[in-house]
Chains A and B, each alone.
Chain A
Amino acid sequence: MDCHNEECSRPQEEEDIMDIPLDDPEANRAAAKIQAGFRGHMTRKKMKPEDKAEGEERPEDRGQ
């Protein structure tokens, strides 16, 4: 994967494209913990009353 050529499509000069550690168990574990927290938050938020007319109070929407 050499990119000496400027026409190479690999955007080395753009802002850092993360090296996403797809195989790193530690990174995945950390990500899963964060995602668990996010999902918890979103479920609880969905159950709260909305101030708008369209109250999301119907339990049907949840738990599916």
Chain B
Amino acid sequence: MDVIIQLQRQIADYRASLYREGYVDDQFTQLQKLQDESSPDFVVEVTSLFFEDCEKLVNNMARALEPRAVDFKQVDSHVHQLKGSSSSMGAARIKNICIAFRTYCESQDHEGCLRCLQQVNHEYSQLKIKLQTLFRLEQQIVAAGGSIPVIQ
């Protein structure tokens, strides 16, 4: 029983830190609420879809930013997609970088775009580690016979 209570506290604390540090926002909470008995792995599934999408888009952006004559409309369309995905995921940091990224696309600022791409890459790796940690904690609690604390 103690183990479960400890794990529940760990999960609650870890979740709180993710919000506090701006990794996720309220939309992530909304995602949790969509998970139920009929779709018990909803959050994990959506998260892995998001990371797949992220990887694909980042690669597309990198390729589009390679040539000397960049097609900024192309880059912008990828950033637009990522902004939509990250916003619906609640991935706040990534979303915010995308907002800045789009203005660099608009002003056709190659350097600015490359900087944003680097930031996106960084935040994507960070978020992946954070969420994998959270899911692992949740798995542990279920394995110990407990239940994942409900998000308020």
A in complex with B:
no
- Using a CB–CB distance below 8 Å, which chain A residues touch chain B? none
